[in-house]
Amino acid sequence: MLERVLPLRGRKRGKADDLPVRVGHLGPRQSRMLEYDQNLVWVTLLLLAYGLVMVYSATISFHDSPRYAQWSPYHYFVRDVFSIAAALLASWIVVQIPMSELQKWSMRLFFFSLLGLVVVLLPHIGKDVNGSKRWVMFPGGLNFQPSELVKLTALLYAADFMVRKQEVKQSFLKTFLPMMVVMMLVGVLLLAEPDMGAFLVIASITLAILFLGGANGKLFAGFSVAVIGAFVLMIVLSPWRRDRIFAYLNPWNEANALGSAYQLSHALIAMGRGEWFGVGLGGSIEKLHYLPEAHTDFLLAIIGEELGLVGVGAVILAFFWIVHRAFSIGRQALVLDRIYSALVAQGVGVWIGGQAFINIGVNLGLLPTKGLTLPLMSYGGSALLLNCMAIAVLLRVDFENRVLMRGGHV
């Protein structure tokens, strides 16, 4: 028998009797089945498996190149399996942590993660790849990208910040100015790498939580304009970023197609070849050293080529469902007067959905080329680890919601 939740009306929020009323009866086995969101777990696991298959397909021919000749055809597949296993283990640990503990430690975790952005810039520690220092090197060939950790800790910090500032959230000096200073610090550190894509995601998460937290509308609009203005200024003052923008507007120009828009033009060719149902799994031509970063930033282009519009549509629907579920969990937490948990859940939705939107837009030629991976799917251990941990936090919020709706305590 299914359970329906009916919130009490006409009561003052925050009191014990403001909890939803449970209608119906659940047996022990049914209660256990409903202790967590099985659908969210399955969709996440399916995206991880989908990404694993496509990463293997995208990298199967890498060993033909002299650059990758020392590695076997299964090198990236094995590393991706290891990354997924580590991410699932970390997620299992995170889902055990009560939201009250995360809130208590959120500020310290955030400022600790900022140390990673400093460490990555130090000589002999940060790993330089294509002119960017975004990874910290560890023994055994393992690398970690601190900016991915900052995405999660910034989300937790921003949610806690808005809860603490509930009484003064309309004040510029006490709410917006401190957050602007913190975001400027994050921006300076990330642009020193440089990693404008990560800064874009973190700024979007912060703005979304400020908005959802009920910040003053006029001040929020001013803060948003300032952030957008900063991005425009960075593009205008950076010749190579400016060239990338203009190349995106006309990728088929001969100079652009062989230069700044090289990746985009080949991604569009891959999408065009796939048509409705694709050329078949493993049949991509663009992955044969034509499309750079086919296993990371442009994995969706390989999906489009091999599995067509159907394969791309499945990815879009899966991310749409995750975002919808995140906001539903957040709304339920708000009904239960759990403001921090509500902001965190919806922040996870903004993060996963926003980054997926940017990556999909880049692959389809709708947005300028930006180095952001497809969450839960693209190759990259740091991103997979933190994406799964974010989903685990979302599952924890949902779990605590369900416990409270049964009359329990968290």
For residue 375, say if its preceding peptide bond is cis, omega within 30 degrees of 0: no
H and E: helices and strands count for the chain: 14, 5
Identify the helix (H) or strand (E) that includes residue 4. strand 4-6
Residue 380 CB-density burial (10 A; 0-12 exposed, 13-18 middle, 19+ buried) = buried
Q: How many alpha carbons lie under 13 Å from residue 64 in its C-beta half-sphere? A: 8
What is the distance between the alpha carbons of residues 367 and 362, in angstroms, rounded to a whole number?
5
The pairing of strands 132-138 and 21-23 is unpaired
What is the distance between the alpha carbons of residues 306 and 312, in angstroms, rounded to a whole number?
10
In three-state secondary structure terms, 136 is strand
CB atoms within 10 A of CB 94: 18
- Quote the tokens at residue 196: 């404008």
Phi and psi (nearest 5°) for 243? -60, -40
What is the distance between the alpha carbons of residues 70 and 64, in angstroms, rounded to a whole number?
10
Q: What's the confidence (pLDDT) of residue 317? A: 97
- Quote the tokens at residue 106: 């959120």
Q: What's the confidence (pLDDT) of residue 36? A: 81
CB atoms within 10 A of CB 27: 9
Name the packing angle between helices 196-212 and 217-236 (round to 10°). 170
What is the distance between the alpha carbons of residues 356 and 321, in angstroms, rounded to a whole number?
12
Q: What are the boundaries of each domain within the chain?
A: 49-94+253-410, 99-237
Q: What's the confidence (pLDDT) of residue 34? A: 62
User: Can you give the pLDDT of all 410 residues of the chain as single tens digits?
Assistant: 333 333 333 334 433 334 443 333 334 444 443 678 999 999 999 999 999 999 999 998 887 777 777 778 888 999 999 999 999 999 999 999 999 999 999 999 999 999 999 988 888 787 777 667 788 887 767 788 999 999 999 999 999 998 987 765 666 666 678 888 888 888 888 888 888 888 889 989 998 998 888 877 777 787 788 778 877 777 777 777 777 777 777 788 777 777 778 889 999 999 999 999 999 999 999 999 899 889 999 999 999 999 999 999 999 999 999 999 999 999 999 999 999 999 999 999 999 999 999 999 999 988 888 878 999 999 999 999 999 999 999 999 999 999 998 887 77
Q: What's the confidence (pLDDT) of residue 406? A: 85
- Quote the tokens at residue 310: 């159907």
- CB 404, CB 169: distance < 8 Å: no
- CB 349, CB 287: distance < 8 Å: no
* pTM for this predicted structure: 0.87
Contacts (Cβ under 8 Å, ≥6 apart) of 185: 114
